[in-house]
């Protein structure tokens, strides 16, 4: 679980999800298996397993809805309203950022930095709200591998349900995928590709064991009456792919003639994420904000989070309420919600107005990195790179 910590501009809150870490009774997880062969087996090859009727070969049956919680889930805990203190930069910091920006430009004169008179600074704070929902989803698929004496357990006892099988979850908000062989679903079948022969017709010679001689094109002669020395006048040559046998080892059963077929359970832990960026009225191009990071003002992590209350920008609070409602309605249908996390990030933008040679000018300082944008810098010269 995430521990409660206190930051500079807000607090982190955490509540344990009672289902996390103990999703099922202690059912031993069998090792994952690989799928062999390019050809899909026929549907009648697989047994009917109660609880797995919709399972398809190779997957594609969709995610399985989780069962209702066995214990009541904790209600979202509303965190106390933080002090939404919005930081601003000083004049000295703005000048330093401006000076560093100009010095990085080979064609910019430093005169506006040295002689410019700062008139005023305007703060335009852009907020990025992010909601993350950490989910566990489960799906099943029929799988197969060459049979070489592995245990066969189908019918010994009922197979556990997809959500009764124990899986080792990762830490919160770490994506992972795990494949588990479902106990009591393994049975032995004849290979559907070679029909239990262990060998398949050679695809290079269509099972003939030989091909038309490439030197004489099947005539047996090279020129005139001279016999073709490559095929000794036969007009055909042995297939090099199958050494003349006309068949090759079956690529599905690897010559074993039989397959072990079983159900695989695919457990997937995912982060479902949505962002909302409050509208910015500073005039700075929006794409510039992708270059910088912001200051985390608020972080709340619980099994289910509560919508943000009392934030200065009402659009952020509205986005929080909307996205939380959408996530809980959307992802609870096909997966188990294990934890939610919401953050509010401030991307500081300061418009610095100054005068140089009696004319007004401005530049922007933005992001934690104090990047500067001054598209209309008043003292540039033309230079070329040879």
Taking only the tens place, the pLDDT of each residue in 165-211 is 999 999 999 999 999 999 999 999 999 989 999 998 888 888 888 98
Q: Which of 45, 54, 88, 147 is nearest to 349 (CA)?
A: 88
Quick one: tokens of 216?
């004489």
Above 90 in pLDDT, residue 107?
no
Task: Compute the residue count for the chain.
Answer: 386
H or E, element range at 344:
strand 336-347
Structure confidence at residue 174 (pLDDT): 97
Q: Give residue 292's pLDDT band: very low, low, confident or very high (50, 70, 90).
A: confident
Q: Which two tokens stand for residue 125?
A: 């704070």
b/e 346-384 (16+ beta carbons within 10 angstroms → b)? bbbbbbbebebeeeebbbbbbbeebbbbbeebbbeeeee
Least Cα distance to 239 among 217, 216, 207 occurs for 207
pLDDT the model gives residue 14? 38
Residues β-bridged to residue 128: 277, 345
Instruction: Tell me which DSSP letter residue 111 carries.
Output: H
Calculate mean pLDDT across residues 356-366.
94
Q: Give the separation between CA 89 and CA 100, rounded to whole angstroms.
A: 16
Q: What is the pTM of this model?
A: 0.68
Helices (H) and strands (E) in the chain, counts: 3, 15
Retrieve residue 273's tokens: 């994420």
Q: How far apart are CA 200 and CA 248, in angstroms?
A: 6
E strand or H helix at 101, and its extent?
Answer: helix 91-103
Could you report the per-residue pLDDT of 331-360, keeping only the tens digit for each? Answer: 988 999 999 999 998 888 999 999 999 999
The reported pLDDT for the residue numbered 125 is 76
The pLDDT score that the predictor gives to residue 2 is: 40
Give strand pairing partners of 267: 138, 178
Q: Are 298 and 310 in contact (CB under 8 A)?
A: no
Q: Alpha carbon 165 to chain centroid distance?
A: 24
pLDDT digits 0-9 by tens, 218-250: 888 887 778 888 888 888 898 988 888 888 899
Q: What is the pLDDT of residues 4-27, one digit of tens each?
A: 333 333 333 334 454 554 444 334
Contacts of 137 (CB under 8 A, 6+ apart): 63, 64, 267, 268, 270, 334, 335, 336
pLDDT band at 324 (very low <50, low <70, confident <90, very high): very high
């Amino acid at each position: 679980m995430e521990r409660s910590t206190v930051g500079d501009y807000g607090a982190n809150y955490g509540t344990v999800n009672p289902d996390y870490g103990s999703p099922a009774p202690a059912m031993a997880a069998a090792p994952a298996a690989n799928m062999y062969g390019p050809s899909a087996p026929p549907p009648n090859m697989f047994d009917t397993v109660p609880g797995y009727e919709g399972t398809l070969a190779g997957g594609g049956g969709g995610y399985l809805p989780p069962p209702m919680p066995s214990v009541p889930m904790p209600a979202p805990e509303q965190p106390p309203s933080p002090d939404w203190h919005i930081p601003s930069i000083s004049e000295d910091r703005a000048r330093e950022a401006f000076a560093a920006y100009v010095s990085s430009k080979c064609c910019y004169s430093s005169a506006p930095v040295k002689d410019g008179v700062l008139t005023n600074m305007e703060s335009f704070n852009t907020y990025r709200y992010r909601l993350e929902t950490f989910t566990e989803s489960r799906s099943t698929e029929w799988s197969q591998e060459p049979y070489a004496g592995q245990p066969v357990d189908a019918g010994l006892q009922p197979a556990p349900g997809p959500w009764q099988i124990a899986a080792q979850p990762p830490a919160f908000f770490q994506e992972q995928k795990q494949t588990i062989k479902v106990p009591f679903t393994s049975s032995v079948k004849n290979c559907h590709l070679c029909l239990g022969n262990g060998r398949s017709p050679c695809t290079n010679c269509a099972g003939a064991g030989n091909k038309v001689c490439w030197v004489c094109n099947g005539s047996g002669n090279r020129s005139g009456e001279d016999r073709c020395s490559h095929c000794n006048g036969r007009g055909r040559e042995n297939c090099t792919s199958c050494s003349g046998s006309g068949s090759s080892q079956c690529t599905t059963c690897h010559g074993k003639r039989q397959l072990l077929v079983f159900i695989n359970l695919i457990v997937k832990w995912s982060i479902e994420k949505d962002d909302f960026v409050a509208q910015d009225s500073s005039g700075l191009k929006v794409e510039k904000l992708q270059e910088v990071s912001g200051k985390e003002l608020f972080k709340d992590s619980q099994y289910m989070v509560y919508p943000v209350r009392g934030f200065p920008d009402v659009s952020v609070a509205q986005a929080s309420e909307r996205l939380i409602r959408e996530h809980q309605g959307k992802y609870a249908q096909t997966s188990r919600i294990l934890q939610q996390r919401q953050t509010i990030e401030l991307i500081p933008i300061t418009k610095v107005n100054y005068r140089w040679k009696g004319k007004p000018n401005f530049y922007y300082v933005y992001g934690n990195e104090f990047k500067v944008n001054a598209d209309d810098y008043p003292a540039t010269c033309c230079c070329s790179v040879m």
